[in-house]
Amino acid sequence: MKTLLTTLISSAILLATSSSWAHSPMETTIPIDKAQLETVPGRLQMNFKSPARILKVVMTHSLDGTSRETRLDLPTRKAIKKIEFTPEFMGAGEYKIEWRALGTDGHVIKGDFSFEVSG
């Protein structure tokens, strides 16, 4: 019985980790995650390890306890490895970019990155 339980737990762990390999995780972002910037960036860029169809991107700006959320317009509905945005930034403050996409394997993937602008 103990051997069966150990086998089942091992199988569940293996399945959980192998399904994450099939997804299209983020490779890099511009600005990089947790960047400290003096001025707002010229653009936002997300680079995926493999093609993904972006479903939603939301930019949240926070300053002095107030937050403003903006849903960014998607430039394409096709599966891509790189996507760029030139949103209207709101000056100094903290920015969080949350995204949701569909990997080529059909799984929904999501993530976020953030940066801070001081000036």
In a domain, 80, yes or no: yes
In a domain, 58, yes or no: yes
At 83-94, the pLDDT tens digits run 999 999 999 999
Residue 91, domain CATH: 2.60.40.1220
In a domain, 87, yes or no: yes
Query: How much is the pLDDT for 1?
Result: 53
Question: Per-residue pLDDT averaged across 50-59, rounded?
Answer: 96
Residue 2: pLDDT band with limits 50, 70, 90: low
In a domain, 7, yes or no: no
Instruction: In whole angstroms, give the CA distance from residue 84 to residue 48.
Output: 12
In a domain, 8, yes or no: no
Ranges assigned E (strand) in 1-119: 26-30, 35-37, 44-63, 66-71, 79-85, 93-103, 108-117
Q: What is the mean pLDDT of the chain?
A: 85
In a domain, 2, yes or no: no
Pairing of strands 35-37, 108-117: parallel
Confidence (pTM):
0.78
Structure tokens that stand for 76 in this block: 């394409």
Task: Give the number of domains in the chain.
Answer: 1
* Residue 30 lies in domain: 24-117
Query: How much is the pLDDT for 6?
Result: 41
